[in-house]
Structure 1
Amino acid sequence: MSETMSSFQCIVATLFFALLLPPGSLAFELSPSFYDETCPEVFSIIRGIIEDALLSDPRIGASLLRLHFHDCFVNGCDASILLDNSATIESEKEATPNNNSARGFEVVDAMKIAVEYECPGIVSCADILAIAAQESVNQAGGPSWLVLLGRRDSKTANRTLADIAIPAPTGTLDVLKSKFAAVGLNTTSDLVALSGAHTFGRAQCKTFIDRLYNFNGTGNPDHTLNATYLETLRKVCPQGGHGSVLVNLDPTTPNTFDKNYYTNLQDQEGLL
Structure 2
Amino acid sequence: MLKKERQAYILHQVNLHNKVLSSSLCTEINVSEDTIRRDLQELSEEGKVIKVHGGALSHSFNQVYFSTNGVYSQNQKKTIALKAIGLINNGMFVLTSGGTTIIELARSLPPQLKATFISGSIPAILEYMHHPNIEVILIGDKISKNSKITVGSEAIAKIRQVKADICFLGTNAIDLMHGITDNDWEVVQLKKAMIESSKKVVCLSIAEKINSVQPIKVCGLDEIDLLITELPVTDPVLKPYLDAGVKVA
Same fold (TM over 0.5): no
Structure with the higher strand share, 1 or 2: 2
Scaled by the length of structure 1, what TM-score is found? 0.27
Structure with the higher helix share, 1 or 2: 1
Scaled by the length of structure 2, what TM-score is found? 0.28
Q: Which has the higher contact order (CA 8 A, sep 6+)?
A: 1
